A and B are shown apart, each in its own frame.
Chain A
Amino acid sequence: MVRVEGLTKRFGDVRAVNCVSFELRRGEIYGLLGPNGAGKTTTLSMLSGLLEPDDGRVLYEGLDLAADPLAVKQKLGIVPQEVALYEELSARENLRFWAGLYGLRGARLAARVDAVLDQVGLATRAAGPVRTFSGGMKRRLNLGLGLVHEPAVVMMDEPTAGIDPQARLNILDVVRRIAACGTTVLYTTHYLEEAETLCDRIGIMDHGRILAEGTLDQLKRMFGEGEIVTVRGAFDPERLRRLLQGLEGVRLLSATGERLVLEAAGEQAGAVRLLSLLLGGELQVDGVSIQPPSLSALFLRLTGRELRD
């Protein structure tokens, strides 16, 4: 459905997106997971035709975005991270305007507007000015504007950022329903639980690269079943390295003066030995946390930092 090949974008000396490649299949929800600044929005901007890549290309059903941007844009829906609405207009007027821009007319336009108002739960508030809406309602309308012309592919850039749990559930429900109807969804988020529960496949992105990609199960299998042990305290990095050298099944993922992230594999034997070492007073420890295998643990293993970092 959508093929991304070697997409690269530089801003000065910074490679915001570095040779990113992946594929989206029809009707799937593909989650692009990464912390702020990972390059998700830049990738999405290039896929939406808002930003020209320095290298690489994007193909929509074989159609090159760079060669025929208008034809590709016609098939795309975007749901930007910021709430991009006309606050003076009503929800219905907003939807009618955007549907019109994508060429919908007459009865089809009216039917789609009504359908989307129902879909996002705003049918009863359709005539009121958007400026009187709550944050959650605006988010839902923001989502609806990206769906009103029935695009084949929808790009959603953190559509649930900063809203209440109920509105979030509503949005996730809409995303599942459109995917079930055959719409392909590219969904960026830094909420692990959203990616875990919503997405069919996940690409983990950091520093402009996709570090790993697959279904949740595939990702877990790909990177083993070891626990992630995070230790907080005050450490001398050199001394620490010497101590860990003889410890079988323990791999240092990242280390700073205040925090260690380690992977302890092998049916908890490594973790037990590590804890014995820590409790033996060799190091000053203020806190320890052990995470079972999960997407969060996987992200930590791949990047050495948590998503909220």
Chain B
Amino acid sequence: MLRLTSPALLVLGLALLIPILLLLVQSFVVSLGYGQLQYSFTLSNYAEALKDPVNRSIAIRTFSIAAVTASACIILGYPASFFITFRLRRAKNLALFLVVVSLFTSYLVRLYAWYTVLGRDGLINTALKTLHLIDRPISFLLFSKWAVLIAFVNVFLPFTILILASSMQSIPADLLENSRDLGASAVQSFTKVVLPLTTPGLVAAFAYTFVLTSGDYTTPALLGGKQSTTLASIVRDQFVTFGNQPGGAALSFLMVLVFAAVYVAVSQTRRYKGV
């Protein structure tokens, strides 16, 4: 058994475990700038990352955008998954296939596509102008936190729908019918049967979206304005622009701590639901 997994484990060990350990070590050493390190133990990278008021406000912004994105994906995705799973019959596979197509549509193309919708001469401005609702194009649509939010939701919605749909598909159809036969209203059979059984999927979708959006720097870079720096872009700049790897490493481990907390919380709700 070990013989067969060993190539994969070897690769993961060399290209995942060792780099992460190295990153961890670096987060505790002194940076001399421009990629130079002095190997003496210090906690100052963490202290600085936590003390910096700019970091703090950017952290709040990053995690709140991530939380709003994950919630919006659920709000949009849950009813859609419900409709696809329980109301569609012949079109069901086609609908799910379209979601998969969207999922595999290039991430960058989907980000860029919002230029044509939100841009100065984009779909929205043109529509509003044609309807004589505005005289001049609205310029705050693109390059704003709204654009970032919309693009994030667009990118992560297919994931959410697929996770939710698969958790709904595992609900036996007779369970719903039985609950109706026993006198439950549509709303009751939803809140007592569908919702509890899909909670693990819902929570997993939320956590996954939350973590991946908090770690993204391309969407804010392409669609956000000047005020759209996120934690990920700070880490990236520390590494690439300033050559301050210890500082970037410390900040990224603080992010990973938050992610770990999210995942632990998720596994707790699973246990609680007895799934």
Q: Do A and B come from one complex?
A: no
Chain B residues in contact with chain A, CB under 8 A?
none
Chain A residues in contact with chain B, CB under 8 A?
none
